[in-house]
Amino acid sequence: MKLTDLSQGLTRIGLGCMNLSHAYGTPPSEEEGIKMLQQAFDLGVRHFDTAALYGFGRNETLVGKALSGNRDQLFLASKCGMTGVDGKRVIDGRPETLVATLDAALERLQTDHIDLYYLHRWDKNVPIEDSVGALSRLVEAGKIGAIGLSEVSADTIAKAHAVHPIAAVQTEYSLWTRNAELAVLGACESLGIAFVAFSPLARGFLADGVASPEVLEEGDIRRNMPRFKEPNFSSNAELLASFKFKAAELNITPAQLSLAWLLAKSPNIYPIPGTRYFSHLEENMAAANVSLSAAVIAELDALINQSTVSGGRYPPATQAEIDTEEFA
């Protein structure tokens, strides 16, 4: 199955699986995670996105346990190049590391191939051509169906694509994170590459899921993100109030308005919101049926954008690791 096979109906919205195992405070139990994944499949989700990093392998294991019985009906995506080593996050794009990471992922996912395998981060100590070259040999071996990149610039995409066709680029994209509009969206369109939008609900903020910074648990990555710290949070909350008013005016939820805005931007965009709750999953999937007028889209563009949002999306150390273009 190809990502473009999911271009119609509810299936265009996938499921980001990270928060079932990683980075957002205490994860649900394995039993609850498996139930969530199976409910997503039953609801029509076919695009499931995981990574070796998430839970340091636990998320791939969870996805394998929950969905291996339906493997032939899934578009399964995972990532390499950023893993857990001795309890710490490590970026390593050396060919031998990518091969070893894939072999472990196949075992955890209970499959003999992964439909889309991303380089999670470009290891700036390794030429992108070397990392993509290693992945291309895994395509030839039948272990992965297609190659993806995550959090890279248009220049890096072009260099990688010259080595082997890149099927998808994944990066953060929502009303409050517009970096992809600088060059990556255009590069994807011109090269025929699908664009996968992670954190399309602004890490829960645009779904009205974060009442205040104080509600975030220890271990929640948002606690260290500038936009979730004061005084930025209060400034952004003022934007959210207007956004919620517009959603109510349209008789939809803020989450649905966020996703509908993304879907309206281009048929080449595939959002992968994450959630732990079936009610939120149903809400997110229903966004595929929402149609926004050009006037509403323009109003949202003016309300929440790189000039009106307060704070960077990552702390400086994390920002230095990624390759995406940044607004001045």
DSSP string, 137-168: HHHHTTSEEEEEEES--HHHHHHHHHHS-EEE
Q: What is the DSSP letter of 225?
A: S
Buried b (16+ CB within 10 A) or exposed e, 42-57: eeebbbbbbbbbbbbb
The H-or-E segment that residue 117 falls in is strand 114-119
Q: For residues 239 and 234, what is the distance between their CA atoms, to the nearest angstrom?
A: 9
Q: For residues 284 and 209, what is the distance between their CA atoms, to the nearest angstrom?
A: 13
Amino acid symbol at 154: A
Strand partners, 119: 80, 149
Question: Choosing from 24, 54, 117, 118, which is the catalytic residue?
Answer: 54
Please report which residue ranges of 207-325 form alpha helices under DSSP H: 232-249, 254-265, 278-285, 294-303, 316-319
- Residue 99: CA count within 13 A, CB half-sphere: 11
Q: What is the DSSP letter of 20?
A: G
Within 10 angstroms of residue 25's Cβ, the number of other Cβ atoms is 14
Active site includes 54?
yes
Residues identified as active-site:
54
